[in-house]
Structure 1
């Protein structure tokens, strides 16, 4: 007897539909012959013991027979415990315990406990997307994964807690229809909810120049590096940067949620990532932890920060090889991880915020403390951050120590809400510009060389100023493009249709912390 069910396997941030074919001989044997074929990994091969126990403890007697389960297509490696449920349903169907014989409109995913209960699995959002694209109407999954899967419209999500509930659901479908209402989520309301932040720029005293630079960075999604002595507020400023970022669109939220779902870090109670991610890995992280990797490639921190912010504190303390592997994601906005059996691409369109001291002791160029470092010590310290990596950071800003009078000032600083209103206005200008030009980008930082020529035209005076800065500071062609992108954002913050001399001058100012800063 042959019985077929449908499941899915996740690769990267996408899922493939898998046919689960169950065949049993009907001849009783003294030993249990249970074989799984179709490139299963260890977790899938071990599922035979879980499936046997779950079926038995759910009240069904499956005598020892020859059971063969094929996971097709057979040339794709199958990983994880999500095949437990379709395998168990396939066995029950093969033995005649199901009234519904055609499961072509049901996709089953879930890990079984020995008692027949269902446990959650990672990557349910890509599975729901794959089901919709394949035209499969019904998705039967563990209850813990319901909110995540219900984000996808066009698929009926049925959350279940046990193998017996799945059998009852399928039998009801075979007897004329399912009377249980599918689980629904109001995604528009979730994204429209007011975002609350525990920190605010109103808490920051002084640092007007740094706050202006962060506002420009947020408005155009530019990478930013803050350099200053210990205690000047670099980390404090970076942690408040998410409070002025533009909210996620539904498409961005969906793509971000897929990555978090695959990585197994998605909040099951939320179901959808509604705020831009903020990731701040420790400087002891490995290159695989930052970029992603492993025998079975998984997203790294740069992908978990997709559509959000990646904060690297104490930048020179990160291993040189870890920082260097970040150059390609900063440029291409995706990470390609190649293995012998597969090559996966993870998106990584993140905004980088980094902070560092100017020297090992931290007080180089500080007016209140004397630096105890020798020039060779400073050179070794700063050389940990390569020139090509610095070139990929749009804004370099000095964050000096805050003076006592500024710390004790009674007047409150500008709040995040006020700054965010200006950022949102600039982002709306960018959205209209790129939509009108049929460009599939969301911010000025994403502009290509061709787009820079189109949207960053300069007048004669601004052209001469930029040329002089390029020659005097020895800036690279990449730095030239970064200056134009930042100038375009500064003009957008002012609502100016074209880039003028003040915009170029301010953008050039944000490059003065290049290598010349330590000379």
Structure 2
């Protein structure tokens, strides 16, 4: 008997690995084994593959069938290898030509009736296949829209194992169940893109809007503190609308994460930055990622290249808040489990909102506040110093005193703010082209200190000497100063920009 061969690709996080699948039909008692470190869901593929092949008119061998997945040291997981395993067995049993799939990537989950089901994570898989020079791929028909996003790939779509047999020159007897649920074709093309609402719809809060514009222009993290009903959540939900549109490369990064999470059909491909708003009861695993075996992405990875909004920030558990420290600095999150460590991208812009106290009325004179002093300190103290030190901008969002008429509405609309943000980002991008940074928030402290005037740096030294800033805080204040200079069209920050950057790091009230 010949050895049937085909290719598949496995994902560990977002990192793809080529997997060679070989099947051998040998004499012996009837037994079907899969070797090569399969997980539980992959071990169950034995029953799915056997039933699906028989549903296509293939007589399963009454001997020993062995499938090897190499490299043997790499953990294999998921049901996306079902179709490749079936193809290798069919090839080994001469149901199709033995060498017809040796250099072909085969992906798909199988149902017991032989139908091919869509898989998650197809986009990063196909991007890796293209980079490795693989052009011929066989994928589920329901994943056709996702496959169309990757150029230079020649996808062959199948709905049933029987179709695969016929495409490879074999003979099959099968019936496609048209009533089975399938992902609709062209779902990505037919989706209606959801655009964030306009900033002009938020009554008042001009100072807060300006602070959000500065945050978007420089990629700075921001904390909004104010009583209930002052507009914090409304403002936060509109931030993606004023941010720079995603580049083609960034769109593929975001789409790959959504493909892995199975939400790509819901969002499609868009240049609007993602917006994630987990509830304050979210667990640590829901925020950073987790699960048994290989950890799956959490909210901070789904917010990659976009906004992570944490409403009622002091209500999040201290452990969850502390897990943000590493990704806020490095832009990646490492998750270690028994079966391996995965790295996910997590370069997000953090936006926090909080009440000033438990009752929310500790603003202004504080005469309406019913909280005790210890309760106020304990409530806001949940946001630890290391976390607040990583927040570039802290702004008070005070209640609106009167409703403006239609004629005197805010001039800070989403369109106006976005135009200013894009202009400032373009200036920063050109300035940091040699370093590979895209915004001021990514610039190193060494570069900033070298290229900022001595008078401006002297203000930071005074704040450091007085204990008002840490060294990290001084670097972040300097980044703010460069963003303020970019917004007003200056070549470099002046003393006023640095002073304002220092002030923006500390709340007035």
Please indicate, yes or no, whether the TM-score normalized by the shorter chain is above 0.5. Answer: yes
CA distance in 1, matches of 2:328, 2:196: 29
Q: Find the residue that maps to 2:20 and give its secondary structure.
A: strand
Q: Which residue of 2 aligns with 1:458?
A: 453
1:479 lines up with 2:480 in the alignment: no
1:223 lines up with 2:221 in the alignment: yes
RMSD: 2.3
1:117 is aligned, of 115, 118, 125, to: 115
The structural deviation recorded for 1:269 is 7.7
Q: Deviations over 1:81-106 (max 9, x none)?
A: 01110111111111212136242331
Query: Where in structure 1 are there 5+ consecutive unaligned residues?
Result: 173-184
- The more displaced of 375-384 and 470-479 is 470-479
CA distance in 2, matches of 1:298, 1:324: 19
Q: Which residue of 2 aligns with 1:323?
A: 321
Maintained 8 Å contact 1:105/1:137: no
Alignment of 1:231-250 (within 5 A): 231-250=229-248
1:291 lines up with 2:288 in the alignment: yes
Distance 1:102 1:332, change over 3 A: same
1:440 lines up with 2:441 in the alignment: no
Q: Which residue of 2 aligns with 1:412?
A: 409
Maintained 8 Å contact 1:232/1:402: yes
1:380 is aligned, of 375, 378, 385, to: 378
Q: Which residue of 2 aligns with 1:278?
A: 275
Q: Which residue of 2 aligns with 1:24?
A: 25
The structural deviation recorded for 1:64 is 2.4
Alignment of 1:59-458 (within 5 A): 59-99=57-97, 101-171=99-169, 197-267=195-265, 270=268, 272-295=269-292, 296-366=294-364, 370-406=368-404, 408=405, 410-413=407-410, 414-435=412-433, 438-455=434-451, 457-458=452-453
Maintained 8 Å contact 1:100/1:171: no
Distance 1:396 1:439, change over 3 A: same
The structural deviation recorded for 1:273 is 4.8
TM-score between both structures, scaled by the size of structure 2: 0.91
1:14 lines up with 2:10 in the alignment: no
The structural deviation recorded for 1:196 is 5.7
CA distance in 2, matches of 1:412, 1:97: 72
Maintained 8 Å contact 1:302/1:310: yes
CA distance in 2, matches of 1:13, 1:442: 23
CA distance in 2, matches of 1:146, 1:268: 15
CA distance in 2, matches of 1:445, 1:55: 55
Maintained 8 Å contact 1:148/1:268: no
The structural deviation recorded for 1:504 is 1.7
CA distance in 2, matches of 1:120, 1:502: 57
Maintained 8 Å contact 1:256/1:273: no
CA distance in 1, matches of 2:271, 2:154: 22
Q: Find the residue that maps to 1:442 and give its secondary structure.
A: coil
CA distance in 1, matches of 2:192, 2:261: 27
CA distance in 1, matches of 2:201, 2:265: 29
The structural deviation recorded for 1:76 is 1.0
Q: Deviations over 1:320-364 (max 9, x none)?
A: 111011111101111111223311111100000000011111111
Q: Find the residue that maps to 1:6 and give its secondary structure.
A: strand
CA distance in 2, matches of 1:360, 1:108: 56
Q: Find the residue that maps to 1:158 and give its secondary structure.
A: strand
The structural deviation recorded for 1:113 is 0.9
- The more displaced of 483-492 and 160-169 is 160-169
Distance 1:119 1:347, change over 3 A: same
CA distance in 2, matches of 1:73, 1:324: 37
Maintained 8 Å contact 2:80/2:119: yes
Q: Which residue of 2 aligns with 1:499?
A: 493
Distance 1:134 1:259, change over 3 A: same
The structural deviation recorded for 1:77 is 1.0
Q: Deviations over 1:148-182 (max 9, x none)?
A: 2332333212222111222233339xxxxxxxxxx
CA distance in 2, matches of 1:340, 1:393: 34
CA distance in 1, matches of 2:163, 2:270: 29
Q: Find the residue that maps to 1:404 and give its secondary structure.
A: coil
Query: Where in structure 2 are there 5+ consecutive unaligned residues?
Result: 171-184
Q: Which residue of 2 aligns with 1:178?
A: none
CA distance in 2, matches of 1:74, 1:204: 58
- The more displaced of 42-51 and 305-314 is 42-51
The structural deviation recorded for 1:284 is 0.6
The structural deviation recorded for 1:198 is 4.4
TM-score between both structures, scaled by the size of structure 1: 0.89
CA distance in 1, matches of 2:63, 2:232: 67
CA distance in 2, matches of 1:410, 1:79: 60
CA distance in 2, matches of 1:234, 1:117: 49
Distance 1:273 1:292, change over 3 A: farther
